[in-house]
Amino acid sequence: MGVKKVPLTEKVRRLERQEILKALVQAGGVKARAASALGITERMLDYKMKKYGIRISKEVNCG
């Protein structure tokens, strides 16, 4: 049985996306609060959301 090889860059991308989603849910979909919780600017959050295809809608269940 071999170990599944996943490049470190892919692991980082997955983790970052997951943490952004979690922060958005905890912030009730308020990007400014999510960005603050992540320690990044709202502009950087917007960039990363676009990069990972995250939209505040069904994907970010805020309720």
CATH number of the CATH domain containing 39:
1.10.10.60
Domain that holds residue 31: 10-52
In a domain, 3, yes or no: no
In a domain, 20, yes or no: yes
Per-residue model confidence (pLDDT) at position 44? 98
In a domain, 60, yes or no: no
Domain count, the chain: 1
In a domain, 14, yes or no: yes
3: pLDDT strictly greater than 90: no
Alpha-carbon distance 41 to 24, whole Å?
14
**55 vs 6, 13, 15, 24, 51, CA distance in Å?**
26, 17, 17, 10, 11
33-55 pLDDT per residue, tens: 999 999 999 999 999 999 999 99
pTM over 0.95: no
Q: What is the mean pLDDT of residues 12-24?
A: 98
In a domain, 63, yes or no: no
